[in-house]
């Protein structure tokens, strides 16, 4: 079993190795967003022509791998999520005269998250300690001039913690508002 801190360190080293001082014509330089569905704040910054680093802190739904029937109950827990997004259809959206404001495009991303559930009782046993996952997701994000933003992504990830690690699905949905941005994109 890989400890969560080692997994997080490896993900951060990978992201740092990909960070280049090259800003492109497509991605927003940076934007701050709030998610109204699951209260959270999100920061997305451009790392390259079609890549961004997206960091979200707040509440997030997840399966609880400590439960005997993992899919019976979804927990909403405090979490920190990181995605290294590669947007693969900026150019086709521009050709079709669709907006790319706010990184409105489809993406694929390695993703990592850490959940902080606090102390809870599972099968009459008191459990504590954080757990997390690392995996890959694909999704889409749409943003509008009003600031309205939504995103959805899905994939699979390997969950680790004080339980036997396993692969489970990952689904994230965000509906919110961009409250601060530094624009760079063309072809609005």
What pLDDT, in 10s, does the model give residues 115-154? 998 877 767 778 778 899 999 999 999 988 888 999 999 9
Residue 144: inside a domain, yes or no?
A: yes
Structural domain for 74, as ranges: 4-182
In a domain, 187, yes or no: no
Q: Tell whether 188 is covered by a domain.
A: no
pTM over the 0.95 mark = no
Q: What is the CATH number of the domain that holds 18?
A: 2.40.160
Q: Return the pLDDT at 41.
A: 96
Share of the chain above pLDDT 70, in %: 82
The total of structural domains in the chain comes to 1
pLDDT tens digits, one per residue of 96-116: 888 888 888 999 999 999 999
In a domain, 88, yes or no: yes
In a domain, 106, yes or no: yes
19 pLDDT higher than 70: no
End-to-end, the C-alpha distance of the chain in Å comes to 46
Residue 147 resides in a domain: yes
């Amino acid at each position: 079993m890989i400890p969560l801190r080692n997994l997080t360190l490896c993900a951060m080293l990978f992201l740092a190795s990909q960070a280049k001082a090259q800003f492109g014509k497509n991605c927003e330089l940076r934007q701050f967003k709030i998610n109204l569905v699951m209260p959270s704040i999100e920061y997305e910054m451009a790392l390259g022509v079609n890549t961004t680093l997206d960091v979200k802190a707040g509440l997030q739904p997840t399966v609880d791998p400590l439960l005997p029937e993992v899919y019976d109950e979804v927990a909403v827990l405090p979490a920190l999520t990181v995605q290294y997004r590669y947007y693969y259809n900026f150019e086709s959206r521009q050709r079709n005269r669709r907006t790319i404001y706010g990184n409105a495009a489809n993406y694929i991303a390695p993703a990592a998250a850490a959940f902080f559930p606090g102390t809870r009782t599972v099968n009459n046993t008191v459990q504590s300690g954080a757990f997390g996952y690392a995996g890959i997701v694909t999704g889409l994000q749409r943003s509008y001039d009003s600031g309205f933003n939504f995103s959805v992504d899905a994939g699979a990830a390997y969950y680790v913690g004080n339980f036997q690690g396993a692969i489970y699905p990952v689904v994230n949905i965000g509906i919110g508002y961009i409250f601060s941005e530094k624009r760079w994109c063309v072809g609005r």
